[in-house]
Structure 1
Amino acid sequence: MESTIEENTLINKLIYSHKVNILVVDDCPNNLRVLSSILTQNGYIVRKALDGEIAISACQKILPDLILLDIMMPNMDGYQLCQYFKQNEKTRHIPIIFISALDDVLDKVKAFNSGGADYISKPFEVKEVLARVTNQLTIRQLYNALTEQNIQLQKLNEELRIANAELEQFAYIASHDLKSPLQSIIGYTQLISCKYEKDFAPDHKRYLEHIVNAAWRMKRLIDDLLDYSKLGKETQELELTDCQNVLEEALDNLREEINSSGATITHSPLPKLMGDRTQLISLFQNLISNGIKFRRPQVIPEIKILAQLKNSSEWLFGVQDNGIGIEPQYFERIFEIFQRLHSYREYPGNGIGMTICKKIVERHGGSIWVESQVNKGTTFYFTIPSQ
């Protein structure tokens, strides 16, 4: 069903909270009068210009919401005037509807190439003019709303970035400052235990052991927080790194865990790639340590490290274990900070290790995910660009 003039007017009132300002540019006074009358009757504010210079001057005083532009005009034709407006920062976003007696396809193509948003052929129908005007104004309104939302989103993102940076800085400072008194607690408690052990009742010794264990647990948490907060600070530039050497250093750091658990570690040939050596060591160390820690009772941990080049653009790594596995509903949760699936007594840890892994991989431009079967094992996959 065709919309009436009254319906178009109602639409505009609903869309716009202010009077819409339209500039009509035509060297024919009669055309100006007719278009001005139609648009004014439908609630628009109309300004008129007989040539390009007057139109430019009018836009310098008040920016219109829309321009209706004739093509055949003296001195500066419609194509030239449209190009001028589109090259000007203040007027480039104003929609321009060409309204002309030229009805050839090439004329219309030239109008659109010069920056026109729409084209109306003369003689025109009133309903068509109003419909196309309403359409362009609606698009402009939606564009303005989207632009404003993007500005607000950028502002919120910047505020969030600053807040995260401040939080990471706080975590770093707080954790760093806690290490010294905590080390004193551990040291003096152990000193008391050694010096006065013979004088202790059984309960006293047990209490001291609880203090030491709690202090060591807190120290591990602080160390993990420091590692996490360092990832938010400026890091070294990526450089060519041999993942074979990275793995060997990670295994050296885990030598005690590997020996005490009897774990076997195997790996395929590992590549050289652009990376942060220190962070990659931490990545492999965390993933291998998880495979050892979350082992099944009476089952010796078996961990395989795999690497495969994909599409010549990135390396796919896998760290596979034969441990207790993870239920599918927890696949995403394990990458969130402080999220634990088991009690500390069952499997000690602070719920930060996998968050660190995710941050390291993303810092290298890759992604990380998990596949797992309960009581069969887990494989953590991650990608890193090959160059």
Structure 2
Amino acid sequence: KLETTHKRAEEELRKHREHLEEVVEERTAELEKTNEQLKKEITDRKKAEERLKQTITELERSNKELEQFAYMASHDLQEPLRMVTSYVQLLEQRYKDKLDSDANEFIAYAVDGAGRMQSMINDLLDYSRVGTTGNTFEKTDFASALSQAIINLHGAIEESGAVITKKNLPTIKADESQFIQLFQNLIDNATKFRGKEPPRIHVTSRKKKKEWLFSVQDNGIGIDSQYAERIFVIFQRLHNREKYSGTGIGLAICKRIAERHGGRIWVESEPEKGSTFFFTIPKKGGK
């Protein structure tokens, strides 16, 4: 009886051992399969990362080439355009009263077109210069930068009756000339796209944990929220030229300036309720 019990125990132990071996084999096979999958995923991820790096490098190179092309094209177009503009204006001055009404109208169209082309080329040059000829970042008094922008826009501000106020503008490292331009573009927009009341523009900032947050608020005609991103795309316009002049480059320049400093820019607005443009500058960094 004891011998039978012993044999039964040995048999159960053998079966248990065999079961354990089967379990170990199954788990080992599963682990090997999982390990192979992980190796494949790691390999695929590395390949994807490498492709992403190559794409980023190609995009950066393309952007630099496009910037250079825009700069060179705009620069090289200046001289022939000046010549065309000068001769068309000369035609207008000399022969305005000596030609029929149709000829006068055609010359007026040519003068207007040449003027708009000159404005567009100047703005395109400004756009390309943001990334190619920007100054080094120095301590910049943003109140002073705003004051210079206001001086530059004296005529438009006086004509529109705009009132501009400011509060809590800091002194931080930035490209001063570019933020004069940014303020100038935003204030110019506020005076241009004004409502029935004279423009009221308030510029302020506040210090956050990792960045400075600036805002430029106006009481103008505002925009629908569906266009909040589109307005920062180069050459995008929401209104026809007959009603509001401009090239559609000003806000795209503002976006490039903010991004060059490592920040971003956006707008919050409603039709007939004014707009508030926000932009950030990190406490450290910039491009």
Q: TM-score range by the shorter chain?
A: 0.7 to 0.9
Alignment-derived partner of residue 343 in structure 1: 240
Deviations 1:235-264 (A, max 9, x none): 322110111111111111111111111211
Q: Is the 8 A contact 2:193 2:221 kept in 1?
A: yes
Task: Please give the alpha-carbon distance, in whole angstroms, between the structure 2 residues aligned to 1:244 and 1:230.
Answer: 24
SS in 2 for 1:380: strand
Task: Please give the alpha-carbon distance, in whole angstroms, between the structure 2 residues aligned to 1:152 and 1:386.
Answer: 32
1:223 corresponds to 2:122: yes
Alignment-derived partner of residue 302 in structure 1: 200
SS in 1 for 2:239: coil
- Compare CA radii of gyration and give the structure with the larger one: 1
Counterpart code for 1:379: T
- Structure 1 spans left out of the alignment, 5+ residues: 1-120
Q: Give the CA RMSD over aligned residues.
A: 1.8
Task: Report how far residue 207 of structure 1 moved.
Answer: 2.0
Alignment-derived partner of residue 266 in structure 2: 369
Alignment-derived partner of residue 193 in structure 1: 92
SS in 2 for 1:232: helix
Deviations 1:320-342 (A, max 9, x none): 11111110111111111222111
Task: Please give the alpha-carbon distance, in whole angstroms, between the structure 1 residues aligned to 2:133 and 2:184.
Answer: 22
Counterpart code for 2:261: H
Q: Is the 8 A contact 2:164 2:200 kept in 1?
A: yes
**Residues 234, 140 of structure 1: alpha-carbon distance in 2 compared, 3 angstrom cutoff:** farther
Task: Please give the alpha-carbon distance, in whole angstroms, between the structure 2 residues aligned to 1:289 and 1:164.
Answer: 28
Task: Please give the alpha-carbon distance, in whole angstroms, between the structure 2 residues aligned to 1:304 and 1:210.
Answer: 38
1:359 corresponds to 2:256: yes
Task: Please give the alpha-carbon distance, in whole angstroms, between the structure 1 residues aligned to 2:72 and 2:21.
Answer: 72
Counterpart code for 2:275: T
In structure 1, which of residues 263, 283, 301 is the aligned counterpart of residue 162 of structure 2? 263
Sequence identity percentage: 44
Name the TM-score, length of structure 2 as normaliser. 0.87
Number of residues of Structure 1 aligned to a counterpart in Structure 2: 265
Q: Compare the two structures and name the one with the higher helix fraction.
A: 2
Deviations 1:52-84 (A, max 9, x none): xxxxxxxxxxxxxxxxxxxxxxxxxxxxxxxxx
Counterpart code for 2:191: I
Q: Is the 8 A contact 2:166 2:204 kept in 1?
A: yes
1:322 corresponds to 2:219: yes
- Structure 2 spans left out of the alignment, 5+ residues: 1-19
SS in 2 for 1:241: strand
Higher RCO, 1 or 2 (CA under 8 Å, sep at least 6)?
2
Counterpart code for 1:177: D
1:43-192 aligned within 5 A? 125-192=24-91
SS in 1 for 2:188: helix
Task: Please give the alpha-carbon distance, in whole angstroms, between the structure 1 residues aligned to 2:99 and 2:162.
Answer: 39
Q: Is the 8 A contact 2:131 2:260 kept in 1?
A: no
Counterpart code for 1:202: S
